[in-house]
């Protein structure tokens, strides 16, 4: 007789993406958790299926074939796993599929509680449909009508530091109460209260007549201090509760997962936060997940996470990118000449067929150019939102097929151009969406991400050193000597405006010695005397990006294209 096992050995992670559904298998091998395989099929949350189950079934069938394991019996998932090897012990599920949640935020001071509420809302796939604070001078009834018109799925109320304002918070609650009074019962939004805890009882009393109010610790307990993590955890649960109503099949799967189903951005952020706790704490760990509709940026240092989800991506999300961007900001990244009209037409066509892939040199150039622009927009918005200059990262974890399915050199160059990091940075590609899965798996067993992250499921692109120099293009800015494991050495004259790929084999170590020649800052967050680095080779070796910051592209098309080609050739893009 087949009996269920007691402990979690195997774990299946499912991600329902806008375009693809993935299934990833993790299991114990020789006492260590390992990533064993992943499958990817088209998602089925939209027409004609309107149910995620079909996509999950296909993904699991494919994974069964790839791994020679049986998860399904009579088309049903065997959970928990049995001693005969059938089934799996734990299941986690994350999702990005579905439209962004409409969120309205209400707070007191524009740049304090309202800003924290905005940051909270932007940490999940959302559209900010209304924001009301003390500085909003619209009439009371106009604010009520604005909320009614916005039809939010969720209202976030913040405001009042601990032992701070109470009367203003009460007014905000009254405003929401009025809005609810005028809203049909079947359209009540969810309410999340993240303000002064002294007002918790009052707010739940006033609004509890209409809906259950979710209460979380104050996101702004003091003017100087912001605490988003507990609110983000509850927000993730609230988002899933709302998604359960719209995403066919999610509720059924949510009932059998070993941890609550969660938005992908939430678990992606959780993994990045974890990495920041075990990492060199001088720099932020940066996670970039570039999807078809959304781009997630997660930056964390010493366990403090800044998470942002942008409505911009390389599929349907292109529409938003094209609204925010001059076409010339995209075409300037192309080393071949393609008329702007054709670029615009192609990108809008891609919004209609977000799952399509670039099949020619020209269409690939367009997609890689827009990828750079999305990265640049995302990091710029993130910096402004968190008031964080965020220029140095270690490492950068990169998900999303536009980056992970490109050639390693092309992926690295897109990341360098889009993010423009300063100092030493290691870039790691996540081709299977493992970061999101591990963030979800951490809720089941914290050992899983610890052990799996150390395996070779992620691709180390390489370490990049990006010094800052005021020197003119072509001027020598430093001498570089590299010592390989074999004992061999090589010397390089590093000139401003150039990219250099040093051939350090993947996994091999080398020591780099730098001798700056003039006014050069190698890494703003390293000790000023640091001139020597140990590097581990990636698939792009080790790269010196001496192009300066911000990157200055020539205005002349011909010169610009020549320079871009030169950089592409330097990293084998």
Given the rule CB under 8 A, which residues bind another protein? 18, 41-42, 46-50, 58, 98-99, 140-141, 144-145, 148, 174, 177-178, 181-182, 184, 293, 316, 341-342, 344-364, 405, 407, 410
Q: Which residues pair with 536 in a beta bridge?
A: 509
Query: Based on CB atoms, which residue is closest to another protein, 125 or 265?
Result: 125
Nearest distance from C-beta of residue 354 to another protein, angstroms: 8
Nearest distance from C-beta of residue 40 to another protein, angstroms: 10
The label of the residue with tokens 């939004």 reads 189
The Cα–Cα gap between 431 and 399 comes to: 6
Q: CA torsion, points 528, 422, 125, 213, in degrees to nearest 10? A: 20
Nearest distance from C-beta of residue 177 to another protein, angstroms: 7
Taking each continuous run of H as one helix and of E as one strand, the counts in the chain are: 17, 24
The count of other CB atoms within 10 Å of the CB of residue 489 is 12
Nearest distance from C-beta of residue 10 to another protein, angstroms: 26
Query: Based on CB atoms, which residue is closest to another protein, 147 or 494?
Result: 147
The Cα–Cα gap between 268 and 261 comes to: 13
Mark out the alpha helices in 295-419 (DSSP H runs): 318-324, 327-331, 340-352, 361-386, 401-404, 408-419
Nearest distance from C-beta of residue 360 to another protein, angstroms: 6
Nearest distance from C-beta of residue 151 to another protein, angstroms: 10
The Cα–Cα gap between 302 and 276 comes to: 5
523 and 392 Cβ atoms separated by less than 8 Å:
yes
Nearest distance from C-beta of residue 49 to another protein, angstroms: 8
**Token output for 49:** 């299926």
516 and 478 Cβ atoms separated by less than 8 Å:
yes
Query: Based on CB atoms, which residue is closest to another protein, 18 or 308?
Result: 18
Nearest distance from C-beta of residue 110 to another protein, angstroms: 23
**Token output for 123:** 């940490």
296 and 357 Cβ atoms separated by less than 8 Å:
no
Nearest distance from C-beta of residue 44 to another protein, angstroms: 9
360 and 373 Cβ atoms separated by less than 8 Å:
no
Query: Based on CB atoms, which residue is closest to another protein, 97 or 563?
Result: 97
Query: Based on CB atoms, which residue is closest to another protein, 116 or 296?
Result: 296
Nearest distance from C-beta of residue 130 to another protein, angstroms: 15
463 and 426 Cβ atoms separated by less than 8 Å:
yes
Burial class (CB in 10 A: 0-12, 13-18, 19+), 359: exposed
Query: Based on CB atoms, which residue is closest to another protein, 202 or 511?
Result: 202
Query: Based on CB atoms, which residue is closest to another protein, 50 or 473?
Result: 50
Query: Based on CB atoms, which residue is closest to another protein, 327 or 443?
Result: 327
The Cα–Cα gap between 385 and 404 comes to: 27
Nearest distance from C-beta of residue 332 to another protein, angstroms: 19
The Cα–Cα gap between 174 and 177 comes to: 5
Query: Based on CB atoms, which residue is closest to another protein, 109 or 203?
Result: 203
Query: Based on CB atoms, which residue is closest to another protein, 11 or 415?
Result: 415
CA 86 → CA 35, 40, 41, 62, distances in Å?
Answer: 18, 21, 22, 15
102 and 151 Cβ atoms separated by less than 8 Å:
yes
Query: Based on CB atoms, which residue is closest to another protein, 162 or 568?
Result: 568
Strands 498-502 and 542-546, how do they pair? antiparallel
Q: Name the DSSP class of 416.
A: H
């Amino acid at each position: 007789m087949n009996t269920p096992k007691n402990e979690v050995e195997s774990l299946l992670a499912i991600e329902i993406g806008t375009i693809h559904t993935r299934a990833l298998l993790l299991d114990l091998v020789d006492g260590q958790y390992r990533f064993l395989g992943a499958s990817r099929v088209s998602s089925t949350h939209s027409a004609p299926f309107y149910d995620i189950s079909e996509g999950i079934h296909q993904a699991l069938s494919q994974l069964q074939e790839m791994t020679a394991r049986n998860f399904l019996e009579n088309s049903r998932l065997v959970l928990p796993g049995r001693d005969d090897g059938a089934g799996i012990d734990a299941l986690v599920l994350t999702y990005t599929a579905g439209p962004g949640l409409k969120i309205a935020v209400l707070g007191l001071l524009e740049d304090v509680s309202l800003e924290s509420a905005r940051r909270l809302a932007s940490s999940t796939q959302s559209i900010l449909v209304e924001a009301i604070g003390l500085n909003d001078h619209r009439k009371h009834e106009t604010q009520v009508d604005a909320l009614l018109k916005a039809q939010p799925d969720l209202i976030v109320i913040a405001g009042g530091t601990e032992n701070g304002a109470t009367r203003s918070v009460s007014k905000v609650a009254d405003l929401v109460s009025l809005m609810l009074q005028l809203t049909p019962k079947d359209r009540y939004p969810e309410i999340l209260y993240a303000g002064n805890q002294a007002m918790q009882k009052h707010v739940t009393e006033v609004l509890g007549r209409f809906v259950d109010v979710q209460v979380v610790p104050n996101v702004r307990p003091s003017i100087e201090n912001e605490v988003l993590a507990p609110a983000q955890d509850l927000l993730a649960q609230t988002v899933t509760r709302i998604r359960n109503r719209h995403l066919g099949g999610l509720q059924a799967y949510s009932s059998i997962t070993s941890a609550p189903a969660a938005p992908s951005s939430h678990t992606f952020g959780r993994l990045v936060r974890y990495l920041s706790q075990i990492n060199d704490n001088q720099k932020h760990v940066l996670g970039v997940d570039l999807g078809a509709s959304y781009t997630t940026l997660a930056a964390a240092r010493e366990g403090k996470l800044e998470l942002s989800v942008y409505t911009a991506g390389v599929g349907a999300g292109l529409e938003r990118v094209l609204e925010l961007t001059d076409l010339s900001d995209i075409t300037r990244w192309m080393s071949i000449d393609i008329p702007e009209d054709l670029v615009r037409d192609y990108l809008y066509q891609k919004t209609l067929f977000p799952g399509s892939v670039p099949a020619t040199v020209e269409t690939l150039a367009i997609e890689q150019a827009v990828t750079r622009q999305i990265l640049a927009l995302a990091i710029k918005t993130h910096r402004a939102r968190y008031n964080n200059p965020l220029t140095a990262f270690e490492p950068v974890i990169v998900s999303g097929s536009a980056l992970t399915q490109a050639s390693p050199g092309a992926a690295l160059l897109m990341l360098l151009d889009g993010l423009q990091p300063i100092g030493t940075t290691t870039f790691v590609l996540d081709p299977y969406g493992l970061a999101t899965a591990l963030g979800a798996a951490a809720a089941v067993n914290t050992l899983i991400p610890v052990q799996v992250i150390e395996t070779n499921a992620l691709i180390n692109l390489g370490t990049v050193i990006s010094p800052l120099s005021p020197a003119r293009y072509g001027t020598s800015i430093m001498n570089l000597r590299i010592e390989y494991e074999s004992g061999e050495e090589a010397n390089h004259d590093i000139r401003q405006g150039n990219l250099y790929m040093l051939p350090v084999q993947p996994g091999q170590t080398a020591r780099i010695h730098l001798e700056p020649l003039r006014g050069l800052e190698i890494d703003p967050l390293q000790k000023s005397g640091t001139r020597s680095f140990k590097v581990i080779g990636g698939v792009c070796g080790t790269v010196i990006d001496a192009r300066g910051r911000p990157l200055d592209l020539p205005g002349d098309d011909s010169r610009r294209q020549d320079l871009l080609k030169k950089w592409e050739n330097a990293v084998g893009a």
